[in-house]
Amino acid sequence: MAHHDLAIVGTGSGNMIVDDRFDGLDVAHVEATRFGGTCLNVGCIPTKMLAYTAEVAETVRAASSYGVDARIDRIRWSDIRDRVFARLDPIGDEGRDHRRDHGTVYDGTARFTGPRAMTVDLAGGGTAEFTADRIVLAVGGRPVVPPPVADSGVPFHTSDTIMRIDELPEHLAIIGGGYIAAEFAHVFGGLGCEVTIVESAGTLLGGMDETVVERFTDAARERFTVHTGRTVEKVTGGEGDVRLHLDDGTEVRADRLLVAAGRRPNSDRLDPDQAGVDTDDAGRVVVDAHGRTTADGVWALGDISTPHPLKHVANHEAEVVGHNLAHPDDLREVDHGSVPAAVFTTPQIGSVGRTEQQCREEGLEFRVGFHEYADVAFGWALEEQRGFCKVLVAPDGTLLGAHLLGPQASTMVQQLVQAMALGVTAERLAHVQYWIHPALTEVLENALRDAVEEDYN
C-alpha cells in the first residue's frame, strides 16, 4: 500500500495548499472529476462569464431608452459556451499535469477505510489504496435533487451540466429560488429564453436582507414567470417536454428543467465515520478554528465543512490550513467575521455582515442609512430606478452590515467590506475621504451620511 506524507482530497481550493513550503514531501492529490473544483468548472467562473454575456444582450435590448437604436440579430450559444470553456478547461488540465509531474495524482473518488487510510475508486476502473501522515478534505458539495424530480425518470439538469448543453432551450423551468437559480434565470433569460421559477418560499433569495429580497423578487416577477410559495409534487413528461405539477394544481411545461434547490456537502461519500471524522446535522465535517477535524492528522476546508459555502471563504480557509500544516507550532485561525457575498444577476447584489432582520432578532441597537441609486447623478445616467445602498450602523459607529442592489453592486460593496474588516466607523468612512463626483460610489457616501448625521436629508 502506498504511503504519503500529505494527501489533498479535492482540487478546488485544496489545490492552493501545496507550494514550495512542502518541497521534499511525498504529496498526493485526489480528484473525482476535473481539477479546479466547482468554481472553475461548474460554478463561480463560468456562470459569471455567462452572466456578463447575458448583461451585454440586455444592454443592447435596452439601448433605445438611451436614444440608441440597436437590435440583436442572433444569439450564438455554441460560441458563447465555447468561449467560456475553451478558456477554463485547459486550466484544469494544466493543474492536473502539474501535480502529476510533482507528485501522485489519483483520478477517482476517495473514501476512508480507517484512520488516515483511504481507498480510491479509480475513474478508469479498479481501486488504489493509500495511507498518509496528514490528509486534507476539500471535496466540496453537490446539488440537492428533490425526490419528485429524482424519482420521476424525467431528464433534468443541475448547475453541473446546464452550462454545457448544445442548444438554448425555448423555455427553461427552474426549481429553486436561491442565488444559483437567480443567476441562471438571468443567464438564460438574458439570452432570450422564456424562464419559469418555482420556489417553495414566499420570496426569492430568502436569506438576504429584507429590502434586497423584496426588490429582487419584484424585479424577477417583471422578467420571468415566478411561482413563490409553491412546491413541485410531481414531474412528468420526457426529453423536450417537461411538466411540473405544483401543489396548487398549476402545471408548468418547459423543454428543459434546471434543479437549483440547494447544495449539500460531499462528506457522506467519504465514509468519515471509518476515520473518526465527525459531521454535524447538515452533513458538514466538524472542524475547529484551525481547520482540524475530530480525527488526528485530518483537516478540512471549503464547502465540505464551512457554514459559508463561497469560493473566497474556501480560499481563505485553504490559506489558513496550508499555513498550519507548514507551521504546526504557529497555528492561525479561520476568520468568518463579515463574510461578503454577491449575486450576479440583473439587478446585481452585494452584501456583507448582518441583515436588518438579523439586527432586530439579536436585539441590537442600530440605525439604518439608506440611499437610492436614482438620487445620485450617475444613477441618472444609468436610468436606474430600483437600486439602493443600505448600511446598518451601531450607536458607536460600527458597521454591522451593508447591502446593495443595482449596477456594480458586487464591486461597490468591497469598500464597505474593507471598512468592516479594518474597524473603520461609518462616520470616519463617510467623512475622511473624497468621494469622486459624479461616480456611482456617491450612493455609498450618502447612505453612510444618512446613518450618522441626524440632520441629513
The catalytic site residues sit at 437
C-alpha cell at 72: 440583436
- How many Cβ atoms are within 10 Å of 313's Cβ, its own excluded? 22
N-term to C-term CA, the chain? 72
CA distance 182 to 111: 34
CA distance 407 to 388: 10
Contacts of 26 (CB under 8 A, 6+ apart): 3, 4, 5, 6, 103, 104
C-alpha cell at 365: 441597537
Does residue 62 contact residue 37 with C-beta atoms inside 8 Å? no
Instruction: For residue 78, give the nearest of 160, 165, 156, 185 by alpha carbon.
Output: 165
